[in-house]
Amino acid sequence: MYDMPLYGPDESYYAERGEIRNLGGVADYTTLERYVPEFIPGADQPGDWSARQVRVFTGTGYEPGGIPKHLKNSIELIERLWKLSRGMDWFMDFHEHAIKRELDALRNELKKWV
């Protein structure tokens, strides 16, 4: 139940300046213990709230949300973070597994929407 970047490369900073800067956060040990095996370094919840909804109320009616775009954006962000992270001295096998698992899940979900 934690969706903020805990550590890893700051992808926005890299995109803007071409330099790697690492993020760091604070969490208690129990959160860290649960979070790290699933964590993609530098990742947060990409996209805005409405992009993750099937239908969005516009004030006068409903329109489709942007789930396929959100999934594509998530895939692209994770791929960029993977590229930035894999050369870091803290990057471990469990990060690699978490990234591959998440990319597989996102791509499988995207197939349902396209």
Q: Determine whether 40 is exposed, middle or buried from the number of CB atoms within 10 Å of its CB (0-12, 13-18, 19+).
A: buried
* Contact present, 41 and 91 (Cβ < 8 Å): yes
What pTM was estimated for this model as a whole? 0.84
**pLDDT tens track, the chain, 114 positions:** 455 778 999 999 999 999 999 998 888 899 888 888 888 999 876 566 777 888 989 899 998 888 898 899 999 999 999 999 998 999 999 999 999 999 999 999 999 998
So where are the chain's domains?
7-113
| Ranges of H-type helices in the chain | 11-17, 29-35, 67-85, 93-113
How high is the pLDDT of residue 26? 87
* Contact present, 40 and 91 (Cβ < 8 Å): no
Question: Other C-beta atoms within 10 Å of 28: how many?
Answer: 7
* Contact present, 107 and 75 (Cβ < 8 Å): yes
- Helices (H) and strands (E) counted in the chain, each on its own, are 4, 4
